[in-house]
Structure 1
Amino acid sequence: MNSHSPLRSWLGVSAITASLFVFLTTELMPIGLLTPLSTSLGISVGVAGLMVTLQGVSAGLGVPFIVAWSRRVNRRVLLSVLLAILALGNLVTAMSPNYAVILTTRLIMGFASGVFWAIGVSMAMRLVPERHASRAAAVVMSGISIATVVGIPLGTILESLTDWRTTFLIWAGLSLVVFAAVTALIPSLPSANAVSVKEVFGLPRRNVPLRMVLVTVVLFVLGHFGAYTFVRPYLEQSASAGPAFITVVLIIFGVGGAIGNFVAGYTVGRSLRGSFLAGCAGLVASMLLLLVAGSTQIGAIAALVLWGLSFGVVQLSQVNMTQAAAPETFEAAMSLNTMAYNTSIALGALFGGLFADHVGVTSVVWFGVALTAASLLLTAATGRGPATRVHDRVTSDV
């Protein structure tokens, strides 16, 4: 039971939300900077996309081990260490003499990012009374929308005003500000429900609903990030878009994500599976719309609005699906979710880069259509499962 004042509890949730903001913008900021990065460093757009790929690889593959090995570490202390690594990594990136140093730094930063994703939501849920746990999770997940609305477009704007190195330097300072907020606002949080590495990897074998959630997550994340990583080159090619228009559509995408996250906060309690299905259907439809009408500015805007809305719904739905599938081992389940999610981000960016360099950026959008459609069909085919029913019971008490 939470024993802290409501104000401090929600301030702590806000600090965790800010942490998600800086972690996610750092991880995904290269999406808005691919063209200037590739030009400055003398590499192709596809190779520049490896900044997303390598960070996703380490965030995904390392997290179950690190979370299990740190299962006795106070979660406030652990989050503070992760933010310190993030700040240092952004600083090194800004000062890196070559691309090899940047990739190595991103690989190390990925470990910190992955651990945050595994512990952040559960930390927020522990800070507030149990009846408000789902609301706290929704607030933290809104950091994703804030990152896409403000963070990634702001990075694009800062780069256009200065350069990409200065942009990462500013993010190093911002990471330090969030570090200070976490140390000041979050109370001591001894580790709870963490398990050993062996038990973590045994969860999917014993828990069929969790296994199905992880498969659907892999499919939609591969499709979404495979296409979204290269949305700037696609718009530059298909709609002759300039930096200003790209910044606008990235903001529009983020606003759509924020609205989708807000809507899903209400719909997941009524129909978790239905919310996920609707979101996946929207992802498929938005990418098809981009292919059909993305050569015009109005078409591109419409596609990115629908894309953002749908992603906001799917994102919150999949976190709730994970919690519903493994309520007693949520942190361990989230470490597996993070492994699946971030590895899929990395593979999506990698496959997208291969398609972009060898077939063309339009093929990357078709790749996204195929994978998100597969996630939609798998979820529709599996029917109403135990995870949905568990979630219904949990949210009825909130």
Structure 2
Amino acid sequence: MTTSRTVPRASTRAWAGVAAITASLFVFVTTELMPVGLLTPISAGLSVSVGLAGMMVTLYGISAGVGVPFLVAWSRTVNRRALLAALLVIMALGNLVTAVSPNFPVVLAARLVTGFAHGVFWAIGVAMAMRLVPGDKASKAAAVVLSGMSIATVAGMPLGTFIESLTGWRTTFLIWSGLSVVVLLAVVLTLPSLPSRSAVPVREVFALPLRNGRLRVVMTTVALYVLGHFGAYTFIRPLMEQRAGMSPVWITGLLIVFGVGGAAGNFVAGHTVTTNMRATFIAACTGLVGSLLLVLLIGTGPAGLAVAVVLWGVSFGAANLCQVNMMLAAAPDTFEAAMSLNTMGYNISIALGALLGGLFATGFGTTGAVWFGVALTAVALLTAFGAHRDGAAPASAEDEVAQP
């Protein structure tokens, strides 16, 4: 990956640009996950089942995943600052249409289009931030951007759930449309011109896993844990309501707890991933399996469920930081292209996780979706152990990647 400096030193404007990209990630992630916290009122408001309402997550994930390698490759000559601005315009319009939609098919159409924008952002966002600062600050810039995901889970989705409880789910999406416009203005004002540098043609993008065995292992492991996590997490609100009898206030509180745990996991993994990336990821996957088992064992009341959700959040936050570093270690010279493939796999896994979790929830209740999560995260853990034994990935992010 080309990570030469765009500015001579990490100026205030450079870090303001990093902050704007972080805010962009916050908007994209909260838009993606908002239906999770609003699943029950959306299904009631649009007269569809909870399982069908989960298609808002599924369809969004499909479009974010399937289209991204093509869109990134086709836009390889487009200035990345202009591309990010266009993506935020699409996000603002998508949330606006969702807020005023007369029926569920219109909602799904809006989610489909915004999903495409989400996928492209994931492929270019981190690389953009790394280019804004000097090489020795690139890793810090990447970590700052990824904190947007934790902020989204700590504040974004719980805030959306709280707003819905006061006003309605349509108002929540309307507010997020306005927030997208605010972030768009921040991007325009703070980011310098960023010509595309590491994007490659479509045929070369899809050839990367064929030539790079380490990349194949990373993508497989990431897909497995994301499948398991979202198979269970998509139905966390119905689980809290039906199994633990929680009110909207309790649900909002536990969603915040999950987000705080994610931020903590991100922070801890940020310190351990540079010394032993595989061990950090294995520990994260172990925590995912354990937390989902705790949901089943002690999640019938607020206290037990809170313990499980804290561990779940910490583990998921750590795993997400690890997967970006693993991608960088596996494909340092084609990071944007590799990230487009990883984004495709990640979001397709979100979509399939929500879909399959919905089938298990419909057939066996919400605990069925959790058991599905246990199974898939356990397979991810076994795959990570296998990669560790076979040496399929570097032990740390510094083993094979020069300082960006």
Q: TM-score normalised by the shorter chain: which range applies?
A: over 0.9
Please list the CA deviations of residues 5-34 of structure 1 after superposition, one character each: whole Å capped at 9, or x if unmatched.
521111111100000000010011000000
1:393 aligns with 2:399: yes
* 8 Å CA contact 1:325, 1:390 repeated in 2: no
1:236 aligns with 2:241: yes
Alignment partner, residue 165 of structure 1: 170
Alignment partner, residue 124 of structure 1: 129
Post-superposition offset of 1:387: 3.5
Alignment partner, residue 212 of structure 2: 207
Task: Give runs of ≥4 in structure 1 deviating > 6 Å.
Answer: none
Q: 1: distance between equivalents of 2:244 and 2:186?
A: 42
Q: 1: distance between equivalents of 2:396 and 2:135?
A: 16
Post-superposition offset of 1:358: 2.1
Q: 2: distance between equivalents of 1:126 and 1:284?
A: 36
Number of equivalenced pairs: 398
Q: What letter is aligned with 1:207?
A: N
Alignment partner, residue 35 of structure 2: 30
* 8 Å CA contact 2:273, 2:396 repeated in 1: no
Q: 2: distance between equivalents of 1:38 and 1:171?
A: 19
Aligned pairs (5 A) from 1:67-82: 67-82=72-87
Post-superposition offset of 1:228: 0.5
With over 3 angstroms needed to count, the CA separation of the structure-2 counterparts of 1:155 and 1:322, relative to structure 1, is same
Q: What letter is aligned with 1:3?
A: V
Q: Where does the alignment leave 5 or more consecutive residues of structure 2 unmatched?
A: none
State the TM-score, normalizing by the size of structure 2.
0.97
Please list the CA deviations of residues 85-118 of structure 1 after superposition, one character each: whole Å capped at 9, or x if unmatched.
0000100110101000000110011100000000
State the TM-score, normalizing by the size of structure 1.
0.98
Q: What letter is aligned with 2:126?
A: V
Alignment partner, residue 176 of structure 1: 181
* 8 Å CA contact 1:222, 1:344 repeated in 2: yes
Post-superposition offset of 1:383: 2.0
Please list the CA deviations of residues 30-80 of structure 1 after superposition, one character each: whole Å capped at 9, or x if unmatched.
000000011111111000000000000000000000000000100000000
Post-superposition offset of 1:356: 1.2
Q: Where does the alignment leave 5 or more consecutive residues of structure 1 unmatched?
A: none
1:2 aligns with 2:11: no
Aligned pairs (5 A) from 1:47-86: 47-86=52-91
* 8 Å CA contact 2:278, 2:396 repeated in 1: no
1:103 aligns with 2:144: no
User: Mean Cα displacement is larger for which, 376-385 or 144-153?
Assistant: 376-385
Alignment partner, residue 88 of structure 1: 93
Please list the CA deviations of residues 337-386 of structure 1 after superposition, one character each: whole Å capped at 9, or x if unmatched.
00000000000001111111222110000000000010000110122635
Q: What letter is aligned with 2:7?
A: S
- Aligned pair partner of 1:136 in 116, 136, 141: 141
1:299 aligns with 2:275: no
Could you say what secondary structure the match of 2:398 adopts?
helix
Could you say what secondary structure the match of 1:383 adopts?
helix
Alignment partner, residue 41 of structure 1: 46
Could you say what secondary structure the match of 2:38 adopts?
helix
- Aligned pair partner of 2:359 in 354, 358, 363: 354
Q: What letter is aligned with 2:181?
A: L
* 8 Å CA contact 1:269, 1:395 repeated in 2: no
Q: 2: distance between equivalents of 1:358 and 1:43?
A: 17
- Aligned pair partner of 1:273 in 252, 267, 278: 278
Q: 2: distance between equivalents of 1:223 and 1:108?
A: 25
Q: 1: distance between equivalents of 2:182 and 2:155?
A: 17
Percent of matched pairs sharing the same residue: 64
1:382 aligns with 2:387: yes
Could you say what secondary structure the match of 1:295 adopts?
coil
